[in-house]
Structure 1
């Protein structure tokens, strides 16, 4: 297995969990909270997709799908365009009301396709390239991609769990 094959497998799994979790949910379902202040399926999937879009676009040297493909306009969220959800308060999280499952899956699929196109070009030697000197030690491409994979898989699992609570409640 080559580096790009491993990365393709990892990022592909995120998409599978997202689709299984979001498919068939209504806009109300996507905004359901198990208690006040708890994360919603919609926010979790929007956030994990925004982080992937932001981080992978940066290392790939291209504009984010969020802005380039008009997803920010379609979602119409009351947030700054560059917002990825990192550090959101409960009120900010609750303000992320996604239009519906189709739109959320559509945005995630668009980001996933861009990510897969990028990782298809990544070889072993690329993983040591420093992509962020703002940390000590500086962050390499390999570390950044594993960080995105880890964060996204955690949030995808959380979203699946919240969906389970939603269905158990209703």
Structure 2
């Protein structure tokens, strides 16, 4: 069931059709930025009030750390997960530059991990959701989004068809963005099969759309139900 992003899937399909078209690159960039902006609070890009503002505005820290059902995660985990994946893929794989996350951010966020959280067990997801400084986590994600937007505007037609570098994938592993656990390590193989256009179509757009839809659903459940799998 769709809880978020009416019309975004259609725009994403349009983006997929034109992203590798040299003549339509300016149009593709504009469309990417339009979609991307709607996946963040309006303060990230200075846009108008949107659905994501409504999602995060009144959430309490406790609500970020509720796992409604056994197959769910938490809203806190999602914010961490989508921010880390966008940071790693856009800055290291697309931009071939440093990721935003560093020791200073790790201290600010008050977290004990550096990877995307894919391999975390339920108890570890709950621990991350409770230990993280939520306001700093939201700031980190916004900073990741701003860097993505700056990067995308600088990309050339040649960039769009550039394959992911094995050296850059190794760098993600060496910097702790992915672990050697099977549930985490597979990401390197997944990203390694893509070109830059393929990355733009998943980590900072489609991937986020799917996870935010979960967050909207969970928020509704958290506020209407009395029993949860983990709190």
Same-fold status (TM-score > 0.5)? yes
Higher relative contact order (CA 8 A, sep 6+): 1
Other-structure match for 1:167: 223
Matches within 5 A, 1:48-67: 48-58=82-92, 59-67=94-102
Higher alpha-carbon deviation: 128-137 or 12-21? 128-137
1:20 aligns with 2:54: yes
Other-structure match for 1:141: 196
Q: Which runs of 5+ in 2 are unaligned?
A: 1-25, 42-50, 167-187, 227-231
1:129 aligns with 2:162: yes
Match of 2:118 among 86, 108, 119: 86
Q: Secondary structure at the match of 2:211?
A: helix
CA distance in 1, matches of 2:31, 2:54: 22
Aligned Cα root-mean-square deviation (Å): 2.3
1:157 aligns with 2:192: no
Deviation (angstroms), 1:160: 1.5
The answer on whether the counterparts of 1:127 and 1:142 sit within 8 Å (CA) in structure 2 is: yes
Q: Secondary structure at the match of 2:154?
A: coil
Count of matched residue positions in the alignment of Structure 1 and Structure 2: 166
Change over 3 Å in CA distance of 1:65–1:41 after alignment to 2: same
Higher radius of gyration, 1 or 2: 2
